[in-house]
């Protein structure tokens, strides 16, 4: 019970913060769905490309919370500020790469064979998103810092404020209010970029002026790049990033292949994918909390506590996952109706939402297990598991089931989701087995 309370106490602000952040994507999907199937499909495809590019690079910074939690657990507070400064230098390089890819997305767009109307909107969306990339990295550093020292509530408040601004900003740029150009679906990307810059500015002004953060020495002059510190950071961060690349790109290419079936199928898949991502916020929050607590206990050499927390986090996540699984399975028609009024899109989306229920339960297992392993600073083996299974039986199996007659008549979008479910469950089981071995060895 003690470990459950520790995890939930840290996880609930993270969950609300992540739900608020994810709420931006839900708002974009819902508002684009009210415009047209073309706008909904373009926003879905562009958002998939954006998440692939951005998260593949931003995910390097996921090394920050476990690094900081180890330092915090061992009472090395001033070293926390030094890690934050090095993460700034790393972020500048990664942000530049992201901007270049988003401004020149031709190779990624070419995979989908998009209709000209859809491609035009996708390119406009990605170009607008490039403007917000530096702010996104700044917010991610703030998130990693606050989470690593066990203070996620400021992140929660800033994300809720950001969510409150999203609908009015979308209205301005999607519908051309207040003398702004009417941009349709791409307008939500402009709104997101402006929102990100505002939140990044407010978050860091608050942090640098808050006396309770002074002991971490973040507000001192920015340190020069320390190649040894950067090397150690990347030693943990790059495998984490490659893990995310395997995960996100498999999901993105799934969306791009489904786009070949037409805008209606692409729109239905976007609803299912958006729902899966929204549900993922629960195990992700629990995983983040578990990772920080594991890292803090490892820094304090409390190895038995770290192991108990790992398995408590998995137990909570699987329980919550089972509840959401039933809700999606039973409420699929109503959920589809909330996203779109198009009966054709609804008809295809309903069975996909039911498959999302099974997908999420596997997600609940793997998300906490992989985050607990990051608390142990283990990231290489999870990277290999993700890459092999999500790209092999996951995406490869999806292509065979969805687009070919290799296993019987092509199943379309359902085939991709069936393969994704099987691969994700395999990932979760192997990750749990590896966590058990790592935690036993640390305890010994």
Model pLDDT for residues 15-49, shown as the tens digit of each residue: 888 888 778 877 888 888 777 778 888 888 888 78
Query: How many other C-beta atoms are found inside a 10 Å radius of the C-beta of residue 434?
Result: 17
As a whole number of angstroms, the distance between CA 95 and CA 137 comes to: 7
Contacts of residue 185, defined as CB under 8 A and 6 or more positions apart, other chains included, come to 32, 35, 38, 39, 40, 42, 43, 46, 121, 125, 174
HEC sequence for 269-308: HHHHHHHHHHHHHHHHHHHHHHHHHHHHHHHCCCHHHHHH
As a whole number of angstroms, the distance between CA 331 and CA 338 comes to: 11
As a whole number of angstroms, the distance between CA 357 and CA 199 comes to: 33
**Dihedral angle over CA of 161, 137, 375, 381, nearest 10:** 130
What pLDDT sits at residue 444? 52
| Cβ 148 vs Cβ 140: under 8 Å | no
Q: Which residue has the tokens 């790469």?
A: 97
Closest by CA to 71, choosing from 60, 84, 87, is 84
pLDDT in tens, 336-391: 888 877 888 888 888 899 999 999 999 999 999 999 999 898 989 999 999 899 88
The larger pLDDT score, comparing residue 216 to residue 98, is at: 98
pLDDT in tens, 170-201: 888 888 787 677 787 788 899 999 999 999 99
In a 13 Å sphere around the CA of 159, the CA atoms on its Cβ side amount to 23
Sign of the Cα torsion 229, 235, 238, 240 reads negative
pLDDT in tens, 51-65: 878 888 888 998 898
Read off the pTM: 0.80
As a whole number of angstroms, the distance between CA 375 and CA 291 comes to: 4
As a whole number of angstroms, the distance between CA 24 and CA 6 comes to: 29
Query: How many other C-beta atoms are found inside a 10 Å radius of the C-beta of residue 124?
Result: 19
208: left (phi > 0), else alpha (psi -120 to 50), else beta? Answer: alpha
């Amino acid at each position: 019970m003690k470990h459950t309370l520790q995890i939930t106490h840290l996880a609930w602000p993270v969950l609300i913060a992540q739900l608020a952040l994810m709420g931006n994507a839900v708002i974009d999907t819902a508002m684009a769905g009210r415009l047209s199937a073309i706008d909904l499909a373009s926003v879905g495809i562009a958002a998939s490309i954006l998440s692939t590019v951005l998260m593949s690079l931003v995910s390097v910074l996921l090394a920050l919370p476990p690094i900081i939690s180890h330092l915090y657990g061992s009472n090395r507070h001033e070293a926390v500020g030094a890690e934050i400064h090095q993460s700034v230098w790393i972020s500048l390089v990664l942000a530049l790469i992201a901007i270049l890819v988003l401004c020149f997305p031709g190779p990624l767009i070419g995979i989908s064979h998009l209709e000209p109307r859809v491609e035009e909107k996708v390119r406009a969306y990605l170009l607008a998103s490039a403007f917000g990339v530096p702010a996104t990295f700044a917010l991610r550093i703030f998130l990693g810092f606050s989470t690593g020292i066990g203070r996620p509530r400021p992140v929660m408040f800033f994300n809720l404020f950001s969510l409150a601004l999203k609908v009015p900003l979308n209205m301005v740029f999607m519908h051309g209010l207040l003398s702004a150009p009417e941009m349709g679906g791409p307008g939500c990307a402009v709104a997101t970029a402006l929102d990100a810059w505002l939140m990044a500015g407010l978050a860091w002004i608050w942090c640098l002026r808050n006396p309770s953060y002074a002991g971490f020495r973040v507000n001192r002059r920015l340190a020069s790049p320390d190649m040894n510190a950067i090397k150690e950071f990347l030693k943990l961060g790059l495998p984490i990033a490659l893990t995310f690349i395997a995960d996100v790109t498999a999901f993105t290419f799934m969306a791009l292949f489904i786009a070949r079936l037409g805008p209606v199928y692409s729109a239905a898949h976007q609803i299912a994918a958006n729902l899966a991502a929204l549900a993922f916020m629960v195990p992700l929050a629990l995983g983040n909390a578990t990772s920080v607590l594991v890292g803090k206990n490892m820094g304090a050499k409390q190895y038995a506590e770290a192991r108990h927390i790992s398995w408590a986090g998995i137990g909570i996540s699987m329980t919550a996952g089972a509840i959401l699984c039933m809700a999606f399975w039973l409420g699929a028609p109503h959920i589809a109706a909330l996203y779109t009024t198009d009966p054709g899109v609804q008809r295809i989306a309903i069975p996909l939402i039911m498959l999302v229920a099974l997908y999420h339960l596997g997600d609940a297992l793997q998300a906490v297990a992989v985050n607990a392993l990051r608390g142990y600073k283990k990231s290489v083996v999870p990277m290999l598991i993700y890459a092999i299974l999500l790209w092999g039986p996951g995406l490869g199996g999806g292509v065979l089931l969805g687009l070919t007659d290799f296993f019987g008549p092509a199943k379309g979008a359902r085939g991709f989701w069936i393969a994704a479910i099987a691969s994700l469950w395999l990932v979760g089981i192997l990750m749990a087995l590896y966590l058990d071995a790592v935690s036993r060895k640390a305890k010994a």
